[in-house]
Structure 1
Amino acid sequence: MIASMIFYFWAMAFAWISNDPKEKLLWSDEFSQELDTLKWTIITGDGCPDLCGWGNNERQVYAQAKENLRIENGLLVLEAHYTDSVFSSARITSRGKAQWKYGYIEVKAKLPQGRGTWPAIWMLPEVFQYGNWPHSGEIDIMEHVGYDPGVIHGTVHTGAFNHIKGTQKGKQIEVPDFAENFHVYAVNWLEDRIEFYVDDALYHVFYNTGEGTEDWPFDHPFYLLLNVAVGGNWGGKEGVDSLVFPQRMEIDYVRVYQAREPKS
């Protein structure tokens, strides 16, 4: 009887913790089967004619061939290749299918390596409410450029703070085994701040200045993008080593929770 009561109270406590609204799961993809096209759209091409090089002079053409995009052993694989002098890679987006205003967004991933690779886990606005990029905002949950191995970047771009002006707001954290092991890259997006994490370690906070949408346009829904770019203004700053390809980003899962109480 006593053992049963102890188990009951333990179970109730566990249920209370599990149902903590700060931990409420809103959306996820565990990539256990084929790519779920109810959750993701596959992007193809080179961005032309409107945004050739995807706005950054990138060299890849996005494709949906299985060598570039597939589910393999419960992992989403986005793989860049160099064949017949052409770089191909993969990009998917949740635009029009899943978007969020605030939340804790985390992606467990293993990254590609080599000079010229530029993987990204990032977010853009579903509607460009305050004007074209960067005025409506961008949240870069994780970026890594191959010529600077192990340095993970978390950044936001707005009308006031962006890389065109050299005023972007971001910080870095070192993850030496980025290509050998999986790590969890995340943001906690709240009304007054965006926190950036790797493996639950907080390394950057961008605060709402209260000075208007040019500083803080992050008050409307954003969607997710996952891609591996090749070259470009940043990724190709020190050239592209074609001999390192193929290179892949592997995604174990994507999970979106209700925003958590801030750590700082």
Structure 2
Amino acid sequence: MKRINLMILAAGLIVYSACSSDGDDTPNPGSPVEKVVIPTSGATSPNSYPGMSLVWEDDFQGSSLNTSNWSYEIGRGNNGWGNNELQYYRRENTSLQDGHLIITAKKENFEGAAYTSSRLVTMNKQDFRYGRIDIRATMPRGQGLWPALWMLGSNFSEVGWPNCGEIDIMEMIGGNGRENTVHGTVHWDNNGSRAQFGGEKRISTGTLADQFHVYSIVWDATSIKWLINDEQYHEIDTTPAGLDEFRRKFFFIFNVAVGGDWPGSPNTTTTFPQHMIVDYVRVFQTNP
């Protein structure tokens, strides 16, 4: 992950950041043994939008992760990646199957941790400023699971967090009836203090683990809007000078945490392995 990690639970809002990459970009030498059942239903999104062009996508074809796009972040981080998370992030928990990225969370003892998972970043490889981002994915389920599809400012290594800014495109907290709710949040520095602004959307039926949903942001110089299945549920006005973080480039982070201050720990109702399955990520930008 990156080089700093904090978790602050204040006024009922979560703030967290990232840690440093291991710099090992060789193809994944191992993957989950089991054949993962991939849902066949759910929302989709178009391949184009009026007035916009597709500038980057990864549809996870082939047999191994494209390391021109992604790096693995390895280990337990500081204080469980700043959030008291319980997993050890490994390369081996990432696999590709039938054109899908699969991040698998397992209950297994490894390097002092009771669980393993994966965390992937596009830092120093793919970053973007503005556009529409669509990610089609299905979530894991169970108490203590914490999947996230998010972004950090590309100047993270120079200015640190939260000064770099953070855009959480999608977070879900497993267990206790929470698996039907998507959270979209931004975090930034406000005159030396951490600030955050988030919204959420509860889907009408089922959970985010039952089938595919499309998690999106529409981001420009004045605002960020969050959508699920093309329905907007949250927006922030980024025109104030103090939100200048969100007028710069950001890179992607995909991960599944186990435990932590927000979801709590797994319990006897939690079954493993659990999977976050990503069909594609697409970035569209306005035509010049």
Same fold (TM over 0.5): yes
What pairs with 1:20-169 in structure 2 (closer than 5 Å)?
A: 20-22=50-52, 24-33=53-62, 34-47=64-77, 51-65=78-92, 68-84=93-109, 86-128=114-156, 131-147=159-175, 148-160=178-190, 168-169=196-197
Query: Is 1:252 aligned with 2:282?
Result: no
Alignment partner of 2:199 out of 171, 175, 179: 171
**Which structure 2 segments of 5+ residues have no match?**
1-46
Aligned equivalents of 2:191, 2:213: Cα separation in 1: 28
Moved more, 246-255 or 176-185: 176-185
**Which structure 1 segments of 5+ residues have no match?**
1-16
- TM (norm. structure 1) is 0.82
Contact 1:150 1:178 in 2 (8 A): yes
Moved more, 141-150 or 187-196: 141-150
SS of 1:218's equivalent?
A: helix
SS of 2:146's equivalent?
A: strand
Alignment partner of 2:222 out of 192, 215, 219: 192
Cα-Cα RMSD: 2.3
User: Structure 1 residues 18 and 113, CA, compared in 2 at 3 Å: closer, same or farther?
Assistant: closer
| Structure-1 residue corresponding to 2:255 | 227
Aligned equivalents of 1:128, 1:182: Cα separation in 2: 31
Contact 2:185 2:198 in 1 (8 A): yes
- TM (norm. structure 2) is 0.75
Contact 2:153 2:245 in 1 (8 A): no
Tell me the CA shift for residue 132 of structure 1: 2.2
Tell me the CA shift for residue 259 of structure 1: 4.8
User: Structure 1 residues 129 and 191, CA, compared in 2 at 3 Å: closer, same or farther?
Assistant: farther
Query: Hey, which bits of structure 1, 4+ residues long, moved more than 6 A?
Result: none
Identical-pair percentage: 38
SS of 2:81's equivalent?
A: helix
Q: Which amino acid aligns with 1:199?
A: N
Tell me the CA shift for residue 216 of structure 1: 3.8
Contact 2:60 2:279 in 1 (8 A): yes
Larger Rg: 1
User: Structure 1 residues 259 and 231, CA, compared in 2 at 3 Å: closer, same or farther?
Assistant: farther
Count, aligned residues: 232
Aligned equivalents of 1:207, 1:223: Cα separation in 2: 21
Moved more, 73-82 or 167-176: 167-176
SS of 1:158's equivalent?
A: strand
Contact 1:161 1:168 in 2 (8 A): no
Tell me the CA shift for residue 235 of structure 1: 2.1
